[in-house]
Amino acid sequence: MRTSEPPHEEKSRRGGAFRNYSSRLAATCSRSRSYRHVLNFAGLSPGEFTQSPNIGKIMNQQTKIAPIPIPFIDLAAQRRHLGDAIDKAIARVLEHGQYILGPEVRMLESELARFCGANEAISCANGTDALGLVLMAMGVQPGDAIICPTFTFAATAEIVAWVGATPIFVDVFPDTFNIDPGTIERAVVTAKQLGLKPVGVIPVDLFGQAADYDAIEQACAAQGLWYLSDAAQSFGATYKSRKVGTFGIATSTSFFPAKPLGCYGDGGAVLTDDAELAATIRSLRVHGQGSDKYDNVRIGINGRLDTIQAAILIEKLKIFADEISKRAEIADRYNAALADVAIVPKLLDDCLSTWAQYTIRIKPDRRDRFVSDLKAEGIPTAIYYPKPLHQQTAYRHYPVAGNGAPVADQIAQEVVSLPMHPYLDPEIQDRIIATVRSALRD
């Protein structure tokens, strides 16, 4: 038997085109891991593929085999890597039955604080509540103004409106996507002109990289403002040897499943060194409770993290540092391979990002075609964010500092995020790099 021409093909009347395609695909199958997935899916080995009597039926149904789609974030791969640790952690909660504020919640809080070097961690229901709890604890109220970057997820400004205060939008840097601290003074002027009292800033660590906290601290000190760091995307990152979670009056983060440290539902936390602020937040997250849950000393919310989610996060935190290193290796590879065809993200000196997103910038008029070219090759992309907040229906009546936010307006048309997660193997990275390069070639 000649392996290049299996017997069923010699007997087949299905025609030369199919025979050629079939053996070419079989050869590709034996080389390529992704095509091997197709065979696994069909329950075939590469040898069985060419010899299967059903193969004609399969092949006749399609003229072109689409490339195997890859996930944007592969939570299933992480689950395989963790083995049964999470199942066991969930089983332990089911066994003790303390679903609300059970022992795992306290355990997670001390692990989170230890991980980033903060004195206190207060877990809560999601990253939006984490931001809101801090503003409530700080007594932010109508008439107050909070300065927010406009290039961010809605939650950053949403919670300012929750407490009746006014977000003042400011512009960002084009290379890091983070708040330009030079705009803070301008925003204070805008707030005062409107008769508002500027009280704080919410810098966002977009896509996993810490904002420039040295410059933010200086600008805030000069204007008598505090700042709350929105680290929904950056828990685990480092700014000049200091871990995110230790800046400003407090830091909020999110454990939404797609975040670098994500649970299997919604979750969030506040980190702070301020014991009094932490105690107020603990009270606020349980309806403003005092000495017990039927003693209500302030208006609060129901904002607790479920014990099951805490148990999951404890297991994920054990591998988190390693996952961040893997993300950094992939980002370095992307940067080296794509810098001549796109504007690649810039990391500040002495900083480590969690690479929640790997986001390049390309010419606005090429973006739609680029996205569809990659999709045709089974490579998903995402646009974070297609519109800055000051352009969104719900937020466009709020003030923008100075002369608007031209950088945010521009980059919103240019950004595209590529698949990024710690389980992206080198073969898939190569496929992404090659496809991006080919799609952007002039």
In the numeric block, which tokens belong to residue 385? 């964010």
CB of 131 to ligand PLP, least distance (A): 6
Q: Based on the shown chain and the rule CB under 6 A, indicate whether residue 104 belongs to the binding site for ligand PLP.
A: no
Among 6, 102, 127, 132, binds ligand PLP (CB under 6 A): 127
H or E element, residue 227: strand 226-230
Nearest residue relative to ligand PLP (C-beta): 127
Among 177, 256, 355, 385, binds ligand PLP (CB under 6 A): 256
H or E element, residue 269: strand 268-272
With vertex at residue 356, the alpha carbon angle to CA 175 and CA 307, rounded to the nearest 5 degrees, is 150
Q: Which is nearer to ligand PLP, 157 or 439 (CB)?
A: 157
Q: Which stretch binds ligand PLP (CB under 6 A): 52-60, 103-111, 120-128, 395-403?
A: 120-128
In the numeric block, which tokens belong to residue 298? 């302030």
Rg over alpha carbons for the chain, rounded to the nearest Å, is 26
Q: How many residues bind ligand PLP (CB under 6 A)?
A: 15
For residue 345, what is the DSSP state?
P
Q: Based on the shown chain and the rule CB under 6 A, indicate whether residue 128 belongs to the binding site for ligand PLP.
A: yes
Q: Based on the shown chain and the rule CB under 6 A, indicate whether residue 35 belongs to the binding site for ligand PLP.
A: no
Q: Based on the shown chain and the rule CB under 6 A, indicate whether residue 359 belongs to the binding site for ligand PLP.
A: no
Nearest partner of 296 among 285, 306, 287, 305, judged by Cα: 287
Q: Which stretch binds ligand PLP (CB under 6 A): 152-160, 216-224, 329-337, 385-393?
A: 152-160
| CA atoms of 184 and 156, how far apart (whole Å) | 16
| CA atoms of 411 and 419, how far apart (whole Å) | 19
CB of 269 to ligand PLP, least distance (A): 10
CB of 86 to ligand PLP, least distance (A): 19
Among 152, 183, 209, 357, binds ligand PLP (CB under 6 A): 152
H or E element, residue 124: strand 120-124
Contact 396, 390 (CB under 8 A): yes
CB of 206 to ligand PLP, least distance (A): 7
Name residues contacting ligand PLP, limited to 260-319 (CB under 6 A). Answer: 266, 268
Q: Based on the shown chain and the rule CB under 6 A, indicate whether residue 395 belongs to the binding site for ligand PLP.
A: no
In the numeric block, which tokens belong to residue 192? 């005062």
Q: Which is nearer to ligand PLP, 156 or 381 (CB)?
A: 156
CB of 88 to ligand PLP, least distance (A): 26
Q: Based on the shown chain and the rule CB under 6 A, indicate whether residue 248 belongs to the binding site for ligand PLP.
A: no
Nearest partner of 120 among 238, 263, 274, judged by Cα: 274
| CA atoms of 214 and 211, how far apart (whole Å) | 9
Nearest partner of 241 among 266, 213, 219, 272, judged by Cα: 213
Among 147, 232, 360, 371, binds ligand PLP (CB under 6 A): 232
Nearest partner of 409 among 388, 380, 425, 381, judged by Cα: 388
From residue 336, alpha-carbon distances to 332, 433, 437, 438 in Å are 6, 10, 12, 16
Q: Based on the shown chain and the rule CB under 6 A, indicate whether residue 126 belongs to the binding site for ligand PLP.
A: yes
Residue 352, Ramachandran bin (φ over 0: left; ψ between -120 and 50: alpha; else beta): beta
H helix intervals, 224-306? 275-284
Name residues contacting ligand PLP, limited to 168-207 (CB under 6 A). Answer: 204
Q: Which is nearer to ligand PLP, 35 or 256 (CB)?
A: 256
CB of 201 to ligand PLP, least distance (A): 14
Q: Based on the shown chain and the rule CB under 6 A, indicate whether residue 233 belongs to the binding site for ligand PLP.
A: yes
Residues of this chain that interact with ligand PLP (CB under 6 A) are 126-128, 152-153, 155-156, 204, 230, 232-233, 254, 256, 266, 268
